[in-house]
Amino acid sequence: MRVEHLRDIAIIAHVDHGKTTLVDKLLRATDAFRANQQVQERVLDSNDQERERGITILAKNISIEYKGVKINVLDTPGHADFGGEVERVLRMADGALLLVDAFEGPMPQTRFVLRHAIDTGLSIMIVINKIDRPGADPEKAYNDCLDLMADLGATDEQLEFAMEHVVYASAMNGFARLDPNDGNMDMYPLLDMIVDDMPAPEVDVDGPLAMQCVTIDHSNFVGRIGIGRVYSGTIHDGDNILVVKNDGERKTAQVKQLFTFDYLGRTECKEVGAGDIAAVVGIDSTDIGDVYTDPENPVELDPIEIDPPTLSIVFEPSTSPLVGRDGDIVGGRQLKERLFNERENNVTMKIEELPDKTGVEVSGRGILHLSVLMETMRREGFEFQVGRPRVLFKQDSNGNKMEPVEQAVVECPDEYSGKVVEVFGNAGGIMTNMDASGTVTHLEFKIPTRGIMGLKNRIMNVTHGEGVFYHTFLEYGPFAGDIGGRNNGAMISMTTEKAVAYALGTLQERGQLFVEPGTECYEGMLVGERSKPGDMVVNIARTKNLGNQRSSTSDISVQLVPPRTFTLEEALEYIVDDELVEVTPKHIRLRKRLLNAIDRKKAAVRAANMSK
C-alpha cells in the first residue's frame, strides 16, 4: 500500500553543486519561516566547519509540507570522505533529486553518490542547477547525466523516469523551470513534480512494526537517539519493542520518547506510521542497522554494511616543549576520553587504543574525514600530536595484498597536461581517460591512496594554480609497490628560540620557509623545506656580528619572502614517517618525532643495521 500523503526524497550531488542552497529555497517556498524571521544562508549547514568549508559533512533530514503532502527531504554530503552518511541515508528514501551544475556537468563524486542511489533502486529526478551561470550548457549536462546513469547500470525504469523528469534551476536565485527559457521565477514546478510524480512510500501500514536505525544522534541528557524510517506498522511512545542487531543479537527495550520531523525541527508525538521517519529515545547503545520490531511478530530486514575505512592516524598527547601554551586540555587521559566519546556518536570511524597505550588509532574514509575531527577538537581546546596517515591494507581470498585505489580527475589548460601526467606517473597513477576538447584538458587516473597524499600541492604548482583536482575512493586493488614520497629534505631548528629575520634571510636562499621573524621555534621543529634531498639542521636565531666599522642599523632591512602556511589537511599530507603534526587551538606545527639531532642519527644507524 502506498502512503499518498508522504514523500521521502534524498538530494544527491557533487560538492558545491548547490544541494543545501536548494533546500533553503524549498523551505522558503513552503513558508517554513515567519515573514520577519532572520534566517542565515544554507540554514542546514549548522556546523561551524560546514559553513566555513562550504560543504555538507553530516547528513540531515527536514520535512516540508506542500499541497497537503509531507515531504521528508534528506540532505546528503557530496564529499566521498563522508560517504558512510550517504549510503545509509539513501535507505530512507524512495526517490532522489540528482543535482548537477549546468557548467561543470557530472563530476567524480556525482558518480559516487549516484551509484549508491541506483543500487538502492531509487527513482531519480535530474535537477540541472546554476543555469544562469556564464558558460552553462544545461542540455549537455542533462545528456551527460543520462550517460552516467547508463554507465552505472541504471535499470530501464530508472532511465525512463530520469528522461521524463528534468528540472532546470538556479537555487541561488530561487527558481525552477521545466524549460530553461520559460521565465518562471519560483520553486513550485519542482515541488509540483515531487508531489505528482515521485513515488509515495510503499509500506505495510497494518503489518507488524519494522523500523531500521540508519543515523545516530546523541544527547547529553537522553543518550543515543536512533533515527530511521518505519517500513511497516506503527511505532508508539511507550511501546515495548524487540531490537535486532546486525550480528543477530536480540534484546527488548521500551520507547521512552518519540519524535517526528517538522520543517527544521523535531516534534514529540505519540505515534509514527509506516513510511514516515522517526527519532526514537530509550534504546540503550543502539547502533546503525538495528531493527526495531514487534516482539511477537518480528520482521527481518537486510543488515546495513558501511564501506570500511581506508586511512588511519594515531593521536598522541603532545610532547612539544611548547605544550600547554595555547590549549587547556593536554592530558593523554582526556584525549582518550574525547576520542572514545566520538566513537559513540560517529559510527563511520573506527577508534581503538594502541596495545602499548601510547596513543589512540582513528580510522576513517580519507584525510578530510579525519581532519574534520581534529579541527573540532582543537576548537574545543585540545592539544595533541598526530603521525602520518597510514593506508589500511587488506588481503584477498588468495592471500594477495590489496590497497585502496582512488579515481582522480584533473581539469587543466592544455599546455600543462603533460606535466600533470608526469606528476601522476611518479606517484603510481595510471591514466584511464583523456579528453582534450577546447582549451581545457580533462584527465582521469586510477591511483593508490598512498600516491594521492601531497599530490594536490604538486598539481597546483605544475598548473600554475589553474588546475581543478578531485579524487574519490574507487575500490581495493592489487598492491602497487613502492611509491616515492617527498623528494626534498627539511630545515630543522637546532635551538628553542624565536626566529630572527637575519637568520631567515640567509636560510631562504636554501629553500622555502615555514616561519616568520618572531615565531617561537623549538629544537626538532620543521622551519622550512630544502630545495635538495636530505634534512639540514639550522640556527634560526643567528644574528649578525657587528664590527666597529658598521652601525647596527645599516643592514637592518632583510627582504623576506612570505612563509608557506599549512592547513591541517596539507600538513598531514606533507609529513613523512619520522615526522609529526602538532595541533593546538592556535597553531599547526610540523616537527620531527625525535627532537634531538643526536637521537635521530642513532635511530637512523639502528634502522640501517636492522635492514642489513
Q: What is the pLDDT of residues 52-90, one digit of tens each?
A: 444 433 445 788 888 889 999 887 764 444 445 677 788
Give pLDDT, residue 543. Answer: 84
Name residue 358's amino acid: T
Give pLDDT, residue 47. Answer: 44
φ, ψ of residue 582 in degrees (nearest 5): -95, 120
Higher pLDDT, 439 or 260: 260
**Does residue 601 lie in a domain region?**
yes
**Confidence check: pLDDT of 485 > 80:** no
132 is in an annotated binding site: yes
CATH number of the domain at 222, please: 2.40.30.10
Q: Which are the contacts of 577, defined by CB distance < 8 A and separation ≥ 6?
A: 387, 388
Residues 377-388 pLDDT 10s: 998 999 999 999
Distances (CA, A) of 505 to 225, 518, 553, 590: 57, 13, 16, 21
pLDDT band at 551 (very low <50, low <70, confident <90, very high): low
User: Does residue 138 sit in the same domain as residue 257?
Assistant: no
C-alpha cell at 65: 509540507
User: Does residue 76 sit in the same domain as residue 165?
Assistant: yes
Give pLDDT, residue 395. Answer: 87
Instruction: Yes or no: say if 380 and 445 are a contact pair by the CB < 8 Å rule.
Output: no
17 is in an annotated binding site: yes
From the list 263, 256, 264, 302, the residue with the least C-alpha distance to 281 is 256
Give pLDDT, residue 41. Answer: 39
426 is in an annotated binding site: no
612 is in an annotated binding site: no
Q: What percentage of the chain reaches a pLDDT higher than 90?
A: 35
Distances (CA, A) of 252 to 182, 215, 241, 257, 448: 57, 20, 6, 16, 45
**Mean of the per-residue pLDDT values of the chain:** 84
60 is in an annotated binding site: no
**Confidence check: pLDDT of 227 > 50:** yes
- Pairing mode of beta strands 123-129, 166-170: parallel
pLDDT band at 33 (very low <50, low <70, confident <90, very high): very low
Q: In residues, how long is the chain?
A: 612
Give pLDDT, residue 52. Answer: 44
Q: Three-class SS string for 573-589?
A: HHCCCCEEEEECCCCEE
User: Does residue 13 sit in the same domain as residue 115?
Assistant: yes
Residues 230-266 pLDDT 10s: 999 999 998 899 998 877 888 888 999 888 888 767 7
Lowest mean pLDDT among 20-24, 124-128, 338-342, 508-512: 20-24
* Per-position DSSP letters for 397-431, written without gaps between them: TT--EEEEEEEEEEEEEGGGHHHHHHHHHHTT-EE
* Separation CA 18–CA 56 (nearest Å): 10
User: Does residue 449 sit in the same domain as residue 498?
Assistant: no
From the list 115, 116, 124, the residue with the least C-alpha distance to 94 is 124
**Does residue 548 lie in a domain region?**
yes
CATH number of the domain at 429, please: 3.30.70.240
User: Does residue 221 sit in the same domain as residue 72?
Assistant: no
Residues 387-428 pLDDT 10s: 999 998 988 888 889 998 988 888 888 899 999 999 998 888
- Which of 197, 228, 252 lies at the terminal end of a domain, its last residue? 197
602 is in an annotated binding site: no
**Does residue 417 lie in a domain region?**
yes
- Pairing mode of beta strands 291-293, 210-219: antiparallel
Burial degree of 223 (CB within 10 A; 0-12, 13-18, 19+): middle
**Does residue 101 lie in a domain region?**
yes
Give pLDDT, residue 44. Answer: 36
pLDDT band at 159 (very low <50, low <70, confident <90, very high): very high
User: Does residue 98 sit in the same domain as residue 142?
Assistant: yes
Q: What percentage of the chain reaches a pLDDT higher than 70?
A: 89
- Which of 293, 322, 345 lies at the terminal end of a domain, its last residue? 293
21 is in an annotated binding site: yes
Q: Tell me the mean pLDDT in the region 5-14.
A: 86
Q: Which residue range is the domain that position 470 belongs to?
A: 394-478
HSE at residue 585, side-chain half, CA atoms within 13 A, is 11
From the list 380, 377, 383, 404, the residue with the least C-alpha distance to 312 is 404
* Separation CA 594–CA 591 (nearest Å): 8
Rounded (10°) CA dihedral 34, 38, 42, 44: -60
Most confident of the ranges 43-47, 173-177, 450-454: 173-177
User: Does residue 398 sit in the same domain as residue 533?
Assistant: no
Q: Which are the contacts of 80, defined by CB distance < 8 A and separation ≥ 6?
A: 108, 109, 112, 365, 366, 472, 473
**Does residue 140 lie in a domain region?**
yes
**Does residue 203 lie in a domain region?**
no
User: Does residue 287 sit in the same domain as residue 433?
Assistant: no
User: Does residue 533 sit in the same domain as residue 409?
Assistant: no
**Does residue 521 lie in a domain region?**
yes
- Which of 259, 293, 327 lies at the terminal end of a domain, its last residue? 293
CATH number of the domain at 27, please: 3.40.50.300
CATH number of the domain at 581, please: 2.40.50.250
Distances (CA, A) of 400 to 114, 307, 428: 31, 20, 19
User: Does residue 225 sit in the same domain as residue 145?
Assistant: no
**Does residue 320 lie in a domain region?**
no
Residues 90-142 pLDDT 10s: 888 899 999 899 988 887 667 777 888 898 899 999 999 989 888 889 999 99
User: Does residue 214 sit in the same domain as residue 192?
Assistant: no
Domain count for the chain: 4
φ, ψ of residue 89 in degrees (nearest 5): -65, -35
19 is in an annotated binding site: yes
User: Does residue 470 sit in the same domain as residue 570?
Assistant: no
